[in-house]
Structure 1
Amino acid sequence: MTSTPRTLTDVPPPAYYLDEEASARQWFKSHTNNFSSRAKAYLISLFPVLQWISRYNFTWALGDLIAGLTVGAVVVPQGMSYAKIATLDPQYGLYSSFIGVFLYCFFATSKDVTIGPVAVMSLETAKVIGDVMEHTDKYSAPVIATALALLCGAISLGIGLLRLGFIIEFIPAPAVAGFMTGSAINIIAGQVPSVMGTSKLFNTRDSTYKVIINTLKHLPDTKHDAIFGLISLFFLYAIRFALNWGSARYPKYRRWCFGGLVLRNAVLIVFATLISWLICRNYDEKDFPIAIIKTVPRGFSHVGSPFIDAELAGYIAPKLPVSVIILVLEHIAISKSFGRANDYKINPDQELIAIGASNMIGTLFQAYPATGSFSRSAIKSKSGVRTPLAGVVTGAVVVMALYALTDAFYWIPNAALAALIIHAVGDLIVSPKQALTFWKIQPLECLIFLAAVIVSIFSTIENGIYTAVGASVALLLFRIARPRGTFLGRVTLTSDDDAKYQRNVYVPLREDNTPQHPTLKVEPPPPGVLIYRLEESFTYPNASVVTDRIVDHATKYTKRGKPNVYARKGDRPWNDPGPKKGDIPFEDDMRAVLRAVCLDFSSVSHLDTTAVQALVDTRKQLSKYADRSVEFHFANILSPWIKRALIAAGFGDVVTQRIKEVASAVPQPDARTAREADEEEISQIVDVGSSSGTSYSQLGVEMNDLEKSGGVETNEKGRSRGSVGGTSSQRTSEDGSVVIVRYPFFHIDLDDAVYAASREYNGILKTSLAREKQGKRL
């Protein structure tokens, strides 16, 4: 950073560099080079397993075997439980569990994630099945579920192949947490009647609050199932509490405690099944005292191609957006979470391909929609998994269960499965502490979270998801349309070691143009100069807001260039109320006349046509207000495309700063010729220096002189390379600041822009240009 104050002594030599050229040809070329190698890399990236399978070794295999067996012990009871949520027979949960974990390993970029049935997606599958069956009884529940999996998988696969996974980022974490919490509460409320044995007495698919009310009403009708259900719940929570306490209290037994936590679900199912068999074996099937699963077909008896026709697709289509959102968001959130925890990076697009391919191929085995499971992924991660190949081991466990344990599955109590579901889903509910954290970080996002939860409870899960997503997008658009931006003042910092070393930093000012930090000595901008920092991209949603702020600030803190006096009352425009009582007379107004606006573009990554036209209109308006040509200086321009857009509108030109209409809705008439307008603007350039009244035209400085001096490079045809789409050269002026000779209103940093807008700088620049014309090299 150049120190201040700046003088004409010890002038450094000129410094030149060329900006990156911005052109449509360059952009097209950069995106089409090496097409064959890019296509090959793309095809290879579709199968991440090829990148590590050649390095597979015994150590990895041992870790994958242990993790795969551990997850397999969990996924079998969970898969059957979640199938019950989806209103499907238990075997369909096992089908989804097998094919999901088996196929995922070939497409995965996460070693920890386990694909299979999950609670929220199972609940949505049940909603879709119910809605379709309300319209027609032509299709069975498994047919509807597999058709849903096929369509959701095809959409996810398409998004991944087209590399459109970035759209997932439009939904923030609090919104996801909101509908996940609402869904978890809905699932728990729907499973409590199964625990109490009253699920057949009322509709457990109603809104959550209705289910809760009906559950309380039918408490007197509780059946023997409550014994299994309540004891199972107590067992699961007691074991978890005891083993977590033991793990913290006795670290040397931590692995044993973890093993107990993993196997508690399987142990519960084994003992519940044994007790159920002892109780029910002497009863006729119709007279069983408790509800049990009953027949589970052995093996893959339902394997076959999925059925779907236009009518069924039409019934499912309205539910597809919600289903895809659940499928995609839950999986990406889980995979990113474990990637951060275990120090590797996942590819969201490839993960979409993985779940899309898994669901589509899974329909051949009559699987219903499956996605990443948080609980099973956590177990897999803690079990020491080394590669995604552990999913093959888990799939083998599920296949073994389908062929060897189906006779035992007959006696599993429904109440025990319901207890297992409640225990698993309870972890999805966001704690009050976490909700308070949302509020502390961003209150509006916390309100979105609460809205999603409330709507899910009192309406439907679908409406809760739409509320969360819609509110998130609306908040995003509002932030874009109403960006933050601040007017700045200058603080001069001095080094403790070297008092001669100084640099300027620019800090925000309050709306009344006073410092936000009273303890800092903040200097206001030079008289007649405004400094504004944009904090978002400058595009059509926020263009008018930004420019209105600049105009309002200019009219508030600077005065008109000439008094607004009219000879006749009728000459005053209708929208000009005239001077108010108590206003300071023009002659006594000590405010400076606006001379320049400095814009800090350090946060601007995009600039569109509407925003450029808004700048053009603003400059016209301010120039009319100041009765002179107001300079616009731009600092910290990030992209050559932004500079190209500004140049196309006439900004940045050292001589004329011509104003050009780029997207005016109403053509602006101008009786002057372009040459006359340019000459008028040249004559209006603010003269600087306490006694200097010399203008550029009086100095005889023309663009040809600048080109001859080396300030602007030309090509063979004599065209300036500083024109639109070309390059511009920069050099160091006498004061040590780096300026663009062809477009000196574009600056390397904000301090140079402010200094260029001051009166002293223009005098220095004129002196420098005059010396160059006389053949003197700085």
Structure 2
Amino acid sequence: MSASVAVYRNIYTEDRFKQAYGSDDITSGSLRLREKLAGSCRCSRRACLHLLSERVPIFNWLPRYRLKKWILGDTIGGLTVGILHIPQGMAFALLTSVAPIFGLYTSFFPVVLYMFFGTGRHVSTGTFAVVSLMTGSVVEQLVPTPLDMNSSSPEAADFEAQRIGVASAVALLSGIIMLCMFCLQLGFLSTYLSEPIVKAFTSAAAFHVTVSQIQSMLGLRLPRHTGTFSLFKTLASVMENLPHTNMAELLISMVCLAVLVIVKEINMRYRKRLRTPIPVEILTVIIATGVAYAFSLDSSYNIEIVGHIPAGFPKPRMPAVHTFPDIAGDTVAITFVGYAVSVSLAMIYADKHGYSIHPNQELLAHGISNTVSSFFTCFPSSATLATTNILESAGGYTQVGYMMYKCFCHIHKPLI
């Protein structure tokens, strides 16, 4: 037997079908599509607050700030980092081949901006030796030092303006690249930074920082080495010039290092008994500065000092954007190195203290920091190894320490 299926249904004409089920013409469909689009673009108050807390994280964690538990550590950590940013910023400005004052600016503006947009609670941003060395190579290539230039001549001021213009252009282009990466949601690339890679990268960066400071510790004035194997060329130059070491500068460096290491060991051994770690970095900088001034070490022992620093903050000005075609390739490398260091440090301290960071938000934070600060004569910034470690070891818990640092800058900048 064969199976059969019988279907009974009403037969409609077009007019009767429209009467029974309504019209579904093209115009009504377009209307519903417009309504859906309008609904998806409509932003409620709750959605606005969620977006604000997501893109400006300070509004998310600041209301939950534990005042009694964290304020002392954040205050000491912020003031410690604030003082250390002074010599570090000026030293790394010289690595960038610009005047020391621009290192102070780079230690202020990016720090304040990252405080609002960053997700790393213990990350201290500002000048970083590796980024400064790479930027300095670009500056030296485009604005080489004339052999017969007098430091007090009008040409010297124009020369410095050209150099900081190029360095600021690198910061601006680096910030734009990071903002483009944020828009493309490329923060996921940080997932490929495994723990061994992160630790190896930060260790290598620390080694670069150490090598860059050896000649200053020994009081040597050596030419800059750039390009492939520049690290080993620098070490070779140091070894060749060891007989010309300034013993006074070496003695000061060794005493300061010994004090830092000993007090750090005391802080680690007695951290349960100490309410807050001893701020040895602050004390070392203050005492060393006072001794240099009181005994006129610059004239007595030929120790190089920074000298006059202009007071106040700079007026906004446009970076040298016409150099973009010349600096584009190097800036891409500087951007990736700066971002890799920043995210690596943020990951290390986030894992240590049990919170998470958002790599894509870090792109936004550092992109805004570099873009905005470039208009205030700043060179490229990133997270820094030394001050991040000091901020955490000095008892800092959150980025409220940056607020203390900002207040400190308003006090110390006019004095400098």
Contact kept? 1:109, 1:346, Cα under 8 Å: yes
Q: More relative contact order in 1 or in 2 (CA 8 Å, sep 6+)?
A: 2
1:239 to 253, 259, 267: 259
CA distance in structure 1 between the partners assigned to 2:79 and 2:328 by the alignment: 38
3-state DSSP class of the match of 2:143? helix
**1:81 — aligned with what?**
91
**1:345 — aligned with what?**
356
The superposition leaves residues 187-233 of structure 1 with CA deviations (integer Å, 9 ceiling, x where unpaired) of: 44343333333314x445572222222322223333xx3312x2233
3-state DSSP class of the match of 2:379? coil
Deviation at 1:357, TM superposition (A): 0.8
For residues 248 and 386 of structure 1, do their structure 2 counterparts lie closer, same or farther at Cα, with a shift above 3 Å needed? closer
**1:194 — aligned with what?**
216
Contact kept? 2:77, 2:395, Cα under 8 Å: yes
Runs of 4+ in 1 over 6 A off after TM superposition: 135-139
Deviation at 1:151, TM superposition (A): 0.9
Contact kept? 1:157, 1:353, Cα under 8 Å: yes
Verify: 1:96 aligned to 2:116, yes or no: no
**2:247 — aligned with what?**
226
Amino acid of the structure 2 residue aligned with 1:193:
Q
Verify: 1:153 aligned to 2:175, yes or no: yes
Aligned pairs, number: 361
Amino acid of the structure 2 residue aligned with 1:132:
L
Q: TM-score, normalised by structure 1?
A: 0.42
Deviation at 1:330, TM superposition (A): 0.8
**1:110 — aligned with what?**
120
Q: How does 1:312-711 map to 2 (within 5 A)?
A: 312-404=323-415, 406=416
Contact kept? 1:105, 1:388, Cα under 8 Å: yes
**1:259 — aligned with what?**
278
Deviation at 1:386, TM superposition (A): 4.5
For residues 180 and 133 of structure 1, do their structure 2 counterparts lie closer, same or farther at Cα, with a shift above 3 Å needed? farther
Amino acid of the structure 1 residue aligned with 2:251:
I
Deviation at 1:324, TM superposition (A): 0.9
CA distance in structure 2 between the partners assigned to 1:52 and 1:163 by the alignment: 23
3-state DSSP class of the match of 1:333? helix
3-state DSSP class of the match of 1:316? helix
Amino acid of the structure 1 residue aligned with 2:81:
V
For residues 342 and 34 of structure 1, do their structure 2 counterparts lie closer, same or farther at Cα, with a shift above 3 Å needed? farther
CA distance in structure 2 between the partners assigned to 1:209 and 1:335 by the alignment: 29
CA distance in structure 1 between the partners assigned to 2:273 and 2:72 by the alignment: 22
CA distance in structure 1 between the partners assigned to 2:292 and 2:332 by the alignment: 39
Verify: 1:308 aligned to 2:320, yes or no: yes
CA distance in structure 2 between the partners assigned to 1:331 and 1:243 by the alignment: 27
**2:165 — aligned with what?**
143
**1:47 — aligned with what?**
56
Q: TM-score, normalised by structure 2?
A: 0.76
For residues 203 and 49 of structure 1, do their structure 2 counterparts lie closer, same or farther at Cα, with a shift above 3 Å needed? closer
The superposition leaves residues 466-519 of structure 1 with CA deviations (integer Å, 9 ceiling, x where unpaired) of: xxxxxxxxxxxxxxxxxxxxxxxxxxxxxxxxxxxxxxxxxxxxxxxxxxxxxx
The superposition leaves residues 629-660 of structure 1 with CA deviations (integer Å, 9 ceiling, x where unpaired) of: xxxxxxxxxxxxxxxxxxxxxxxxxxxxxxxx
Verify: 1:165 aligned to 2:187, yes or no: yes
Deviation at 1:299, TM superposition (A): 1.5
Contact kept? 1:81, 1:93, Cα under 8 Å: yes
Amino acid of the structure 1 residue aligned with 2:310:
P
**2:292 — aligned with what?**
273
CA distance in structure 2 between the partners assigned to 1:399 and 1:205 by the alignment: 36
3-state DSSP class of the match of 1:305? coil
Contact kept? 1:153, 1:359, Cα under 8 Å: yes
CA distance in structure 1 between the partners assigned to 2:200 and 2:269 by the alignment: 34
Verify: 1:299 aligned to 2:312, yes or no: yes
CA distance in structure 2 between the partners assigned to 1:329 and 1:355 by the alignment: 11
For residues 355 and 44 of structure 1, do their structure 2 counterparts lie closer, same or farther at Cα, with a shift above 3 Å needed? same
CA distance in structure 1 between the partners assigned to 2:353 and 2:142 by the alignment: 42
CA distance in structure 2 between the partners assigned to 1:279 and 1:381 by the alignment: 33
The superposition leaves residues 8-28 of structure 1 with CA deviations (integer Å, 9 ceiling, x where unpaired) of: xxxxxxxxxxxxxxxxxxxxx
Contact kept? 2:74, 2:398, Cα under 8 Å: yes
Contact kept? 2:127, 2:380, Cα under 8 Å: yes
**2:15 — aligned with what?**
none
For residues 262 and 213 of structure 1, do their structure 2 counterparts lie closer, same or farther at Cα, with a shift above 3 Å needed? closer
Larger Rg: 1
For residues 221 and 328 of structure 1, do their structure 2 counterparts lie closer, same or farther at Cα, with a shift above 3 Å needed? same
CA distance in structure 2 between the partners assigned to 1:195 and 1:265 by the alignment: 15
The superposition leaves residues 99-120 of structure 1 with CA deviations (integer Å, 9 ceiling, x where unpaired) of: 1221212112232211111121
CA distance in structure 1 between the partners assigned to 2:244 and 2:375 by the alignment: 42
Contact kept? 1:239, 1:264, Cα under 8 Å: no
More strand per residue: 1 or 2? 1
Deviation at 1:69, TM superposition (A): 1.8
CA distance in structure 2 between the partners assigned to 1:43 and 1:250 by the alignment: 42
Amino acid of the structure 1 residue aligned with 2:255:
F
The superposition leaves residues 357-401 of structure 1 with CA deviations (integer Å, 9 ceiling, x where unpaired) of: 111111232111111123322332344434423312212222322
What value does the CA root-mean-square deviation take over the aligned residues? 3.2
Deviation at 1:86, TM superposition (A): 1.7
Amino acid of the structure 2 residue aligned with 1:209:
F
CA distance in structure 1 between the partners assigned to 2:80 and 2:316 by the alignment: 30
For residues 193 and 36 of structure 1, do their structure 2 counterparts lie closer, same or farther at Cα, with a shift above 3 Å needed? same
CA distance in structure 1 between the partners assigned to 2:307 and 2:365 by the alignment: 34
CA distance in structure 1 between the partners assigned to 2:121 and 2:303 by the alignment: 41
Contact kept? 1:96, 1:367, Cα under 8 Å: yes
Deviation at 1:250, TM superposition (A): 4.6
Amino acid of the structure 2 residue aligned with 1:375:
A
Amino acid of the structure 2 residue aligned with 1:374:
L
Deviation at 1:89, TM superposition (A): 1.8
Amino acid of the structure 2 residue aligned with 1:270:
T
CA distance in structure 2 between the partners assigned to 1:152 and 1:122 by the alignment: 13
Q: How does 1:203-218 map to 2 (within 5 A)?
A: 203-205=224-226, 207-218=230-241
The superposition leaves residues 161-186 of structure 1 with CA deviations (integer Å, 9 ceiling, x where unpaired) of: 33220123334454455555455444
